[in-house]
Amino acid sequence: MKKILLVEDDKDFGTMLKQYLTLNKFGVTWALHGEEAYTIIKEKDFDLCIVDVMMPIMDGFTLAKKIVELKPDTPFLFLTARKTKEDRIKGLKLGADDYIVKPFEAEELVLRLHNIIKRASQQSNYGVEGTTETVAIGKYTFDYPNLTLTIHNNTSKITEKEAKLLYYLFSNSNQLLRREEILSQVWGKTDFFSGRSMDVFVSRIRKYLKEDPNISIESVRGIGLQFNLSQ
């Protein structure tokens, strides 16, 4: 059973939606606002988050930023009553996997959820073969099997997707890689959503590697990325 975090402040609508999703074999945890949802997702993992944009205490866009920072592998979909193009673009730029405007048919939502989960599963199982060994990346020790990155006895736990991307870039050090090639190898897709996701992951990897001045990830406009590693 796929686990969904539903974040919706409208109690009547939330009750109806939770019941419908449960009938469609989803395990649903319901939060009434962004802060409650953030507390929950820090403690539990979900296959997908459904996030209402307009909520009290913490709005959906703010929550989405926190989800991406905390658990970037977790896909999410925005629900909103606002139909402006600006809101839709903002949501997609945050890394949303989909965006649906109220009112909508519940059946359509379920189909979209299945598509997102299927795509996320394909991406997770796709791509770069890692290594069973620990490798040195500049001053860092990269333990791929255990998903850790260590420097000066300080260890960071990274996600599987971060590890795949880092290993692929490192394996092609000092070579300019086309954006589409990276997406194809690591994400298995080259669509807009995957591209936005890659931008988030690259930013995170840069932060992980900032302690070694001999490592940099260079963005070449209109082409792709180059993982620079000097001796």
pLDDT of residue 182: 92
Task: Report the C-alpha gap between 120 and 118 in whole angstroms.
Answer: 5
Q: Convert the pLDDT of each residue in 16-51 to its tens digit.
A: 999 999 999 999 999 999 999 999 999 998 999 999
**What is the spatial distance between Cα 21 and Cα 51, in angstroms, rounded to a whole number?**
14
Q: What structural domains does the chain harbor?
A: 2-125 (3.40.50.2300), 134-229 (1.10.10.10)
- C-alpha 177/C-alpha 202 separation (Å) is 13
- Per-residue pLDDT of 106-136, as tens digits, reads 899 999 999 888 877 665 554 455 567 789 9
Contacts of 128 (CB under 8 A, 6+ apart): 164, 167, 168, 171, 185, 186
This prediction has a pTM of: 0.60
